[in-house]
Amino acid sequence: MSRATDAEKTFEFSSPVRLHYGEGLIDGLADFCPGAGQVLLVSGRSSAKASGLLDRVRRALKGKNVEE
């Protein structure tokens, strides 16, 4: 087994941020990422699933590969 070097332990991510807020925006979620074939969805352990939000997001992103 080899040891990870310091360079292998680092991670850097940079992204400009645009925040959209408003009623009904989830239903048009795919409009915010028209060229994306894959979407990474990050949420809490169970609240998004229990509330139905996860299913709603998946429906809005129909046709895209959604990883959670």
- pLDDT digits 0-9 by tens, 26-66: 999 999 888 988 988 888 889 989 999 989 999 999 888 88
- Average pLDDT of span 9-22: 84
Q: What is the DSSP letter of 44?
A: -
Q: Is the pLDDT score of 9 beyond 90?
A: no
The count of other CB atoms within 10 Å of the CB of residue 54 is: 17
pLDDT in the model for residue 25: 92
List beta partners, residue 40: 67
Kindly tell me if the per-residue pLDDT of 12 is higher than 70.
yes
What is d(CA 28, CA 62) in angstroms, rounded to the nearest whole number?
Answer: 11
